[in-house]
Chain A
């Protein structure tokens, strides 16, 4: 187990390194700080002096090294070109709302997916099974931002039950988190259902039933524990996609998280902030993937030796 964790840690570090290079190069060629920060009257000499000041006249590798060192050792993503304050301050403020939204959405999605997935596998071809299939179909074809707008129209505008934007109280969380939950729900439900179906046809389940173990004990102890392995892996693997979905959801509901910060910064060309958000979101994705790998190996010892 220890070797497995060390191997996965090194792998995660490598992935983080590649992502830092990609996001540095991508934004290096996209961003034009001189035109963003200098007045229009600036001449070529001003621009040269300005770029020398920012270190933009140095070789690319040196720039990358300095940039990475500042991030790793000082947590400094540079200053926002628009707000003129450290990008890490903006990111720090927006981080919690995004994590809050993502975690609650994940809890909702799992809480709905597990009972429905298990029931539809156990009572195959029943009404519940059909409802599950229907939710999966509709959920996979529904654009997240449209669902958000529809929920706003129905519950915010027509029924006036829930606020459509803002983030002051927990009531504001309801619509955004349902929207985001619908993003991961279909896949989770499908996984639980097919996992249960597979496990329920295994010999050890039949043996357990034949021995006289009660039905619910077989379901929970023998079947579900094994069917849950892919769910653990995918929940972790999906966390990145969930954060991507949060970008969409936050934009629709004006939720003050990292996604909205990134979208607004991209639109005004504030690249240090964009870079910071990309690296932060990727970092959380890598951590979640790592946790999923280790979690799966913990539940299922076979994985460790592969």
Chain B
């Protein structure tokens, strides 16, 4: 008994530092709480996007020119009509942020779907069949990763024209290598596993083995990566819109709102602060859910 406890102490402590039991428990609870917090943020984001017309207090495009640049209610001079104030055209900032969630989430989800489909198909082919296919895919992935991502996406948007569909295509086409890389490596590992070798020796068709034995085992890692990539796609969309190469005015996109607010940065700081905070909370929530999913699927990868 004594022996065991001293050994487990050695495993847990590094060098001379001994964390107390309370701090470990606190840390675990904190991690769990962060996962729940992230889930709540994502839920709020999703509900705002779906029920935008019910949640918003105003039409996001309606201009009240007399009330332009009204401060938020919690600041001096803020009225009760516009909770988060109004922008330079007198549009309700709160309602625009709520409708912005719809745009961000649609683009984030669709762009990741596009890159996931391309990446997983190429990665499966490379990892499963190996040889020349693998060499070509690996090479393409490396080449794509050396291409400045944001310039590639910007050029694609210019080539295709700035619209929501084209932003999705541009972001999707520039971000598939990360899915291809993970799928390829995981498939290579699975390919050598006994249950796959058994399936091969039973004479199952390649398609069947890939669908039934490989893809099902890829679901967990892919879901974790996809979650994090959704957050990144949302941030990238806001940057494209910020540069005027994304969603076009007057559609309420968070990035576009930030760009418009930037002109008033010196005096009316909340115009660019609030939409940015919405982007931050959305990305934070999605990342926290991603972390929680990773812990759930793979206890060995647990960070703390």
A interface footprint on B177-210 (CB within 8 Å = 1, 0 otherwise): 0000000000000000000000000000000000
Contact status B15-A218, CB under 8 Å: yes
Chain B CB within 8 A of A18 CB: yes
Are the C-beta atoms of B276 and A150 separated by less than 8 Å? yes
Indicate whether A146 sits within 8 Å of B15 (C-beta atoms), given known contacts A133-B304, A247-B148. no
Contact status B287-A141, CB under 8 Å: yes
Q: Are B148 and A274 in contact (CB under 8 A)?
A: no
* Residue in B10, B148, B265, B273 with the greatest tally of chain A CB atoms within 10 Å: B148
- Closest chain-A Cβ to B146's Cβ sits at a distance in Å of 4
- Contact (Cβ within 8 A) A266 B245: yes
- A123-B12 Cα distance, complex, nearest whole Å: 11
A residues 22-69 touching B (CB-CB < 8 Å): 22-23, 26-27, 29-30
> Are B273 and A153 in contact (CB-based, < 8 A)?
yes
| Docked complex: B253-289 residues within 8 A CB-CB of A | 258, 262, 265-266, 269, 272-273, 276, 279-281, 283-284, 287-288
The answer on a CB contact under 8 Å between A247 and B265 is no
CA of A124 to CA of B26, assembled, Å = 12
Can you list 26 residue pairs at the A/B interface with Cβ under 8 Å? A18-B140, A19-B147, A29-B159, A121-B14, A125-B23, A125-B26, A130-B30, A137-B34, A141-B283, A143-B235, A144-B239, A145-B242, A150-B276, A152-B265, A153-B273, A157-B266, A157-B269, A200-B14, A247-B150, A248-B239, A266-B154, A266-B158, A266-B245, A274-B155, A277-B151, A278-B151
B27-73 residues at the A interface, CB under 8 angstroms = 27, 30, 34
| Chain A neighbourhood of B235, CB < 8 A | 143-144
The residue on A at minimum CB distance from B242 is: A145
CB distance from B158 to the nearest CB of A (A): 6
* Alpha-carbon distance A74/B129, docked complex (angstroms): 42
A residues adjacent to B (C-beta < 8 A): 11, 14-16, 18-19, 22-23, 26-27, 29-30, 121-126, 129-130, 133, 137-138, 140-146, 149-150, 152-153, 157, 190, 194, 197, 200-201, 206, 209, 215, 218-219, 237, 240-241, 243-244, 247-248, 251, 262-263, 266-267, 269, 274, 277-278, 281-282, 285-286, 289
Q: How far is the CA of A202 from the CA of B102 in the complex (A)?
A: 48
Residue contact B14 to A27, C-beta cutoff 8 Å = no
The interface on chain B, measured as residues whose beta carbon lies within 8 A of the other chain's beta carbons, has a size of: 55
Least Cβ distance of A247 to chain B in Å?
A: 5
CA distance A243 to B150 in the complex (A): 10
Q: Give the contacting residue for A282; candidates B24, B26, B27, B148; CB below 8 A.
A: B148
- A26→B287 contact, CB < 8 A: no
B154 touches A263 (CB 8 A): yes
Complex interface bits, B223-249 against A, C-beta within 8 A gives 1, otherwise 0: 000000001000100110011110000
Tell me the complex Cα distance, A289–B145, Å.
Answer: 10
Determine if A240 and B146 form an interchain contact, defined as CB atoms under 8 angstroms apart.
yes
Could you tell me if A285 and B146 are in contact, using CB atoms closer than 8 angstroms?
A: yes
Give the interface of B toward A (CB within 8 A): 10-11, 14-17, 19, 23-24, 26-27, 30, 34, 139-140, 142-143, 145-152, 154-156, 158-159, 231, 235, 238-239, 242-245, 258, 262, 265-266, 269, 272-273, 276, 279-281, 283-284, 287-288, 303-304
- Chain A: minimal CB distance from B17 (Å): 5
Q: Which residues of chain B are within 8 angstroms of A237 by Cβ–Cβ distance?
A: 145
Neighbouring A residues of B304 by C-beta, 8 Å: 124-125, 129, 133
The reply to whether B258 and A145 contact each other, CB–CB distance below 8 Å, is yes
Question: How far is A121 from B17 in the complex, measured between Cα atoms in Å?
Answer: 10
Chain A residues with CB under 8 Å of B273's CB are 150, 153
Q: How far is the CB of A28 from chain B (nearest CB, A)?
A: 10
CA distance A277 to B155 in the complex (A): 12
Assuming A157-B269, A267-B244, is B27 touching A125 (CB within 8 A)?
Answer: yes
Residue of B nearest to A193 (CB): B303
B258–A274 touching, CB < 8 Å: no
Contact A282 B147 (CB under 8 A): yes
Q: Report the Cα distance A11→B238, complex, angstroms.
A: 35
CA of A124 to CA of B24, assembled, Å: 9
Residues of chain B lying within 8 A (CB to CB) of residue A143 = 235, 238-239, 276, 279-280, 283
Q: Is the CB of B287 within 8 A of A140?
A: yes
Contacting residue for A244 out of B15, B139, B149, CB 8 A: B149
Asked whether, in the complex, the Cβ of A149 is within 8 Å of the Cβ of B15, the reply is: no
Q: How far is the CA of A27 from the CA of B146 in the complex (A)?
A: 17
- Contact between A201 and B239, CB atoms less than 8 A apart: no
Q: Which residues of A contact B14 (CB under 8 A)?
A: 121-122, 124, 197, 200-201
Given contacts A240-B146, A285-B146, contact A137 B151 (CB under 8 A): no
Q: Is the CB of B146 within 8 A of A266?
A: no
Contact yes or no, A244 B151, CB < 8 A = yes
